[in-house]
A = this chain, B = another copy of it.
Amino acid sequence: MSAADDRSSVHEPPAPVGLYEPFISSGRLIALSAISSARGGRLVTGKVGRDLDLEAGRAAARNAAENLLAVLLDAVGGEEARVEQILFVRGYVNAAEDFPAVHKVIDAASELIIHKLGERGRHARTALGCATLPNNNAVTIDAMAVIAG
């Protein structure tokens, strides 16, 4: 997918829900804050495996990944080619105790990131099931990446 295609799909990601920045870069390293799946102010809330099924969780993860990439694209001034490599993605699922498939939820985010960025989107990853997340969001995702100077 070309940078032009990506730009055409860029939307306004949700603003931080507290006293932090959407991203901070230093040198070529960039830290991307955990972001929710909110789209147009609509949150997806509740626990996956209790209030939401796997597919609903995956849809939320996909949207969170789109939001994360919108922040990243903004961080590089819209020049997608300046994204050198996604290093680490962490995916947080507001999950029912013993829900066995948080990795399948976060796979939907990983898939989107790799689809958009190709090899540069391949990443190390950690998926966790959490007791709760900000505003009872179902899924949030954060990342570290390397960008061209």
Q: Footprint of B on A, CB under 8 Å?
A: 16-24, 26-29, 31-34, 47, 49, 84-90, 92, 94-104, 106-107, 110-111, 114, 122-136, 140, 142, 144, 146
Which B residues lie within 8 Å of A129 (CB)? Answer: 94, 130-133
Which B residues lie within 8 Å of A101 (CB)? Answer: 134-135
13 contacts between A and B (CB under 8 A): A24-B122, A29-B87, A29-B146, A31-B124, A34-B127, A49-B132, A94-B129, A98-B132, A100-B134, A101-B135, A102-B133, A128-B133, A129-B130
Distance in angstroms from A129 CB to nearest chain B CB is: 3
- With A24-B122, A33-B124, A101-B135 known, 19 other A-B pairs at CB within 8 A are A18-B127, A21-B123, A24-B85, A24-B88, A26-B87, A33-B125, A34-B126, A47-B98, A49-B132, A92-B126, A95-B132, A96-B132, A99-B131, A100-B132, A100-B134, A126-B140, A127-B133, A127-B134, A129-B130
